[in-house]
Structure 1
Amino acid sequence: MTPLPMIQLPPVKHLYVHVPFCPSICPYCDFHVLTRRSGQVEAYLAQLEREAAYLAASYPTDLETVYLGGGTPSFLRDDELTRLTQSIRRHLGWGRLENTLEVNPGTVSAPRAQHWRELGFDRASVGVQSLDDPTLKFLGRQHDAEQASSAVELLAAAGFRVSGDLITAVAGQPLERDIAGLLALGVGHVSAYTLTIEPGTPFARRGVKVNEDDEQMGFERTAELLTDAGLERYEISNYARPGEQSRHNSAYWQNRFYLGLGPGAAGHYPTQQAGLRAERRTNPHLHDWLAHDFTAGPAAESEAVDAEEHVTDALFMGLRTRAGVDLAALSLYSGLEVTQRYAGPLERNLEAGLLTLDGAVLRATVRGWWLLNKVLGDFVNG
């Protein structure tokens, strides 16, 4: 089956903005982050406006969500964040449904929270990570448990929908107390990630290891405690009360188009090139991004996404979610008969109890989520 050709580019409804500056660099972090130096933020804001103008001229937008990640977007000074949001609004618009600011607990005060709300942010993703001071110290966090709790309370009082980030599988971490503390603060959303030691990070250079038993215990116990408390596990690492799901992150998991703005930002773009379903780009890091001339085009070369890559992308992202992947709809859009192309991996993983097929909807089981990298590797290898 072959879909109708695209007459014009569809409006892109999601925008990710990368703010690379942090007050300090955590030893487990492998994102593009750096501490601010004289003149860097000014140069960043000027270039961000130029890239926003390029994106506006290249893609129609009807934004539903905007997400400022990093780095530490809340580390920007009030006038800097005001200028950044004005640039976005001027060229690309603003999210109609949800606008998220990633927040470090040590940057929050009541006046700042109110300022962020006035700028148009309505959701805060707070890097709590733990409510145990020894665990926070081990993780290299600059805030303590009291600051984390206060930050959540101040943001909620200012009218934010608040999500709390939690890191699990840290040796000695009082996980149950961490989760109970987050729930007591009234967060509507929790993102729980296993501590991962990435190559090149300070933790990797120090030889820090994650115990596999701690990893599995954290994975299973987090799910048990949060779902018992009434939060739905709607994605492998994300839990929400009704109506509190991240609309922006859900766009990633549904393989929708989104713009990437800023150094290191990734984007998934519509295309009119024959035989392709999308283009991917990941911007270079700050130095090269600042040196780029956006009047000459994007800062990174496009990576073409053909029908087969579109299908594997959709499977990789969609199988992370409780909703799963509608294989019939995916076949119709891609023009590739998914159940035929991936008959072997489907049969093997269904028989192993790692996937289920309900009509045309393919989902990972709980055990399949735990072994998801193995499942996805099977699809890559055919």
Structure 2
Amino acid sequence: MRQAELDSVVRHLYVHVPFCPSICPYCDFHVLTRRAGLVEAYLERLDQEAARLSETYALDLDTVYVGGGTPSFLRDDEIRALATAVQRHLGWGRLENTLEINPGTVSAPRAAHWRELGFDRASVGVQSLDDTTLRFLGRQHDAAQAREAVTTLVGSGLRVSGDLITAVPGQPLDSDIRGLVDLGVGHVSAYTLTIEPGTEFARRGVNVSEDDEREGFERTEELLTGLGFARYEVSNYARTGQQSRHNLAYWQGRTYLGLGPGAAGHYPAGTEGLLTTRCTNPHLHEWLTGQTGEVQPVDATEYVTDALFMGLRLKDGIDLSDLSRRAGMDVAQEYGAVIRRQVSRGLLVQDGAQLRATPQGWWVLNQVVAEFLNA
């Protein structure tokens, strides 16, 4: 095995804000409602953790993504304190700085404030532009608020991405998609409604049929590509130049810092025999006491299978030569039998060093990657 060639400088940062005004019935992220003193304690601990990360890793940030939860649920002075702590200790993204936003928290003065802090991209949890669908999803905003919020954010000069949930029973998907595009967004993330264990929807016995899932999956692509958006990842579409640079780092297997309770990071390992280390921070109350997170060492084999799982989500797939260089192994040779088998089934396409999934391969991607894991 030759020497792996991984960038030792971390160029991406994810910051988790766990607070939400309410918990949606489909959500399985680490979120909770705010209580007196809790946000203040969170911000104090965030500053301490940012300082520790700055002392531990070499940093030259390209992107920062503040997600949650509902980061825009923080008050103006609180989001300023968060941005100040990040910028003081870790820097700010040269290429992109994203803030996740709930439509019910948007106003023109707040959008101007977010821009002043250095955010240049907004990811808005629209989910639907139909009031019945929004009520089913347990959202606190209505369709009118969503339209007004997106219009305000676009008008503020932020690059705007709108999130939609598909395969919701009775959802008018066509009007949701057309309506969102008409508001001027440059990016759309369209995720199938997934019922996760432990959520309110799971307790209620809500189900999503495979037929509805597939219909939403295919209709979303048909509509968005017809409206001038290019599908660049399984669930993500963008106009030219509007791709999420931060999320591309995940799909391309790059390292990134995770800051905040429940945040996941993918770090340079600094240990012989390992390529990287993945760490997931504990939930808020444990995190506030300084407890460390769950650490998962990643060797070359696991790095490659992780990279294949993420990279094959991209329309362009993954460059096996680049992956081989980063991992220190000849991926095409090591997994040649699996690749040939998947190509013969019509699930993968190989064009020189480039390996990508077909539309059918995307639909069964977990099965495709399982074969690499079991090779």
Please state which band the TM-score falls in when normalised by the shorter chain.
over 0.9
Note the C-alpha offset of 1:4: 6.1
Q: Structure 2: which amino acid aligns with 1:243?
A: G
Match for 1:343 among 336, 339, 350? Answer: 336
Distance in 1, matches of 2:82 and 2:181, equals: 33
Within 5 A, what are the aligned runs for 1:49-128?
49-128=47-126
Q: Structure 2: which amino acid aligns with 1:345?
A: V
Distance in 2, matches of 1:351 and 1:124, equals: 41
2:45 aligns with 47
Distance in 2, matches of 1:230 and 1:361, equals: 25
Distance in 2, matches of 1:286 and 1:354, equals: 41
TM-score, length of structure 1 as denominator length = 0.96
Within 5 A, what are the aligned runs for 1:1-382?
1-3=1-3, 10-292=8-290, 299-382=292-375
Distance in 1, matches of 2:268 and 2:23, equals: 34
TM-score, length of structure 2 as denominator length = 0.98
Q: May I ask how many residue pairs the two structures share in their alignment?
A: 375
Distance in 1, matches of 2:372 and 2:154, equals: 42
Structure 2 residue ranges without an equivalent (≥5): none
Distance in 2, matches of 1:100 and 1:329, equals: 27
Would the aligned equivalents of 2:12 and 2:61 in 1 still touch at CA under 8 Å? Answer: yes
Distance in 2, matches of 1:38 and 1:307, equals: 46
1:236-274 C-alpha deviation (Å, 9 max, x unpaired): 000000000000000000000100000000000012211
Note the C-alpha offset of 1:10: 2.2
Distance in 2, matches of 1:346 and 1:194, equals: 28
Q: Structure 1: which amino acid aligns with 2:2?
A: T
Structure 1 residue ranges without an equivalent (≥5): 294-298
Distance in 2, matches of 1:341 and 1:106, equals: 51
Q: Structure 1: which amino acid aligns with 2:168?
A: V
Distance in 2, matches of 1:157 and 1:324, equals: 34
Cα RMSD of the aligned pairs, angstroms, is 1.2
Q: Structure 2: which amino acid aligns with 1:279?
A: T
Q: Structure 2: which amino acid aligns with 1:341?
A: E
Specify the SS of the correspondent of 1:302: strand
Would the aligned equivalents of 2:25 and 2:138 in 1 still touch at CA under 8 Å? Answer: yes
Specify the SS of the correspondent of 2:275: strand
Q: Structure 1: which amino acid aligns with 2:235?
A: S
